[in-house]
Structure 1
Amino acid sequence: MRTPVLLMAGGNDGTVVRLNQAAAERLSAPHRVSVVNGAWYLFEEPGVLEQVTGAVSEWFVSSAVSQEATA
């Protein structure tokens, strides 16, 4: 089974961005690295949580559609 993976990081946290990119390179499953500009790892900045939920929602919808197409 190949479960789609979404890796998210705040754009202000270069270390986590690099770690997520390195992890993504090792994945054989469908994946995406999403970087939220202007955010740190807790996503506490004003308006950032909305960006995160939008990216996650889009990822779930696109992953579900992709999984249905290959089923």
Structure 2
Amino acid sequence: MNPETPVKEIMTTKLVTVGPNTTMKEVQAIFSRNNIHHLPVVDESDAILGIISKEDLYKITHLLALNTSGPTYSEKM
């Protein structure tokens, strides 16, 4: 492939997108089902609002797991 090749020659044209109210669980399923790592987030007129990545999802679910890992106990001294 020539470095001067326009991106239109190699870009993905059949996009999988999600709306802003799509749940993290749904996004994870879409990533798995489609073997993709990024999803454009679009509004009702298909205007791009942003992008969610597998890494974004991993970070937030990891932080949520840390914050909801259950009660912590400390000894009284």
> Under TM normalisation by the shorter chain, which class is it?
0.3 to 0.5
More helix by share: 1
Higher relative contact order (CA 8 A, sep 6+): 1
Asked which structure has the greater CA Rg, the reply is 2
Normalization by structure 1: what TM-score?
0.34
Normalization by structure 2: what TM-score?
0.32
